[in-house]
Amino acid sequence: MALAAARRLLLHAGSRLGRREAVDGARRFANKRVLVETEGPAVMKLRNPPVNSLSLECLTEFTISLEKLENDKSIRGVILTSECPGIFSAGLDLLEMYGRNPAHYAEYWKNVQELWLRLYTSNMILVSAINGASPAGGCLLALCCDYRVMADNPKYTIGLNESLLGIVAPFWFKDMYVNTIGHREAERALQLGTLFSPAEALKVGVVDEVVPEDQVHSKARSVMTKWLAIPDHSRQLTKNMMRKATADNLIKQREADIQNFTSFISKDSIQKSLHMYLEKLKQKKG
């Protein structure tokens, strides 16, 4: 209920902002954590500092922005990137999964599923300009895209590292990884929780292209131009043919997946692992 109300408020605020900024001449709309520019190829920028973690609010704003773009028939493709220096996205917000109650975990997971289903089955062309670290849920966002361009900076890593946190990647994260890099590579990377450097990510197929950091956006734009030259109807039907079974696999068991997540994440042993991981992140500073 609370989330539905927040959603209505955000949609309303989003459209107000949309109108105001259009008057300024720039075609863009924004909410607090997501900025969307629709001048030229549409660009969606995550801006949830310090690390673009996907908090419940961020997920909601992201989903709403995507919905607005999907509803605008003049928009055929979107570049997904980050406004936080050096970080694409740190993935799911650990604080949404630690020390909360089961109802919160269920609500959070429902929203994670919702964003994934929308992104993965989007009719639009999605290109990610990965301009920073992209672990776990950050990698998931990139994997949903039709093409991934990553900045050539060895400090940036990408991959599904859940097992390093003492948690398990859900089956639909795994399915998408297998679809992208094949069964053997996915099996190894998932068990080890591998975070790939850009060069390794390119080699294994987690990303499609690695370019100098200052060319990530221009490359993503030129990739978009190429993809936009393909007729929408044939490209969309092909994308649907490739992805439908994977998405349907979650759709048919969404409730059970929420229950599994909620009981898994509520376990004392899992909460302890998350606590230790959060402490490790804190200590890294000191």
Ligand X SMILES: CCCCCCCC/C=C\C=C\CC(=O)SCCNC(=O)CCNC(=O)[C@H](O)C(C)(C)COP(=O)(O)OP(=O)(O)OC[C@H]1O[C@@H](n2cnc3c(N)ncnc32)[C@H](O)[C@@H]1OP(=O)(O)O
Task: Please list the active-site residues.
Answer: 92, 137, 161-162
Helix (H, G, I), strand (E, B) or coil at 197: coil
User: Could you say which of 80, 170, 223, 224 contacts ligand X (CB under 6 A)?
Assistant: 170
Cβ 130 to ligand X, closest distance in Å? 13
Q: Which among 11-19, 145-153, 238-246, 259-267 is the span making contact with ligand X, rule CB under 6 A? A: 259-267
Burial of residue 221, with CB atoms counted within 10 A of its CB: 0-12 exposed, 13-18 middle, 19 or more buried: middle
User: Could you say which of 34, 79, 133, 176 contacts ligand X (CB under 6 A)?
Assistant: 133
According to CB under 6 A, which residues from 31 to 70 bind ligand X?
A: 50-51, 53
CB atoms within 10 A of CB 188: 12
Closer to ligand X at the Cβ: 229 or 256? 256
Burial of residue 231, with CB atoms counted within 10 A of its CB: 0-12 exposed, 13-18 middle, 19 or more buried: exposed
Q: Cα separation of 9 and 11, whole Å?
A: 6
For position 250 contacting ligand X by CB under 6 A, the verdict is no
Q: Cα separation of 170 and 149, whole Å?
A: 25
Closer to ligand X at the Cβ: 31 or 52? 52
Q: Which among 38-46, 177-185, 205-213, 260-268 is the span making contact with ligand X, rule CB under 6 A? A: 260-268
- Under rule CB under 6 A, how many of the chain's residues touch ligand X? 27
Cβ 258 to ligand X, closest distance in Å? 10
Q: Which among 11-19, 36-44, 63-71, 163-171 is the span making contact with ligand X, rule CB under 6 A? A: 163-171
- Which run of H or E residues covers position 80? strand 77-82
* Cα 283 to Cα 22, 136, 279, distances in angstroms: 45, 21, 6
91: its two tokens? 């993935």
Relative to beta strand 125-130, strand 77-82 is parallel
For position 119 contacting ligand X by CB under 6 A, the verdict is no
Closer to ligand X at the Cβ: 215 or 271? 271
**Which candidate, 89, 93, 10, 87, places its Cα nearest to that of 55?**
93
User: Which residue ranges make up the site for ligand X (CB under 6 A)?
Assistant: 50-51, 53, 87, 90-95, 133, 135-137, 161-162, 165, 167-168, 170, 260-261, 264, 281-282, 284-285
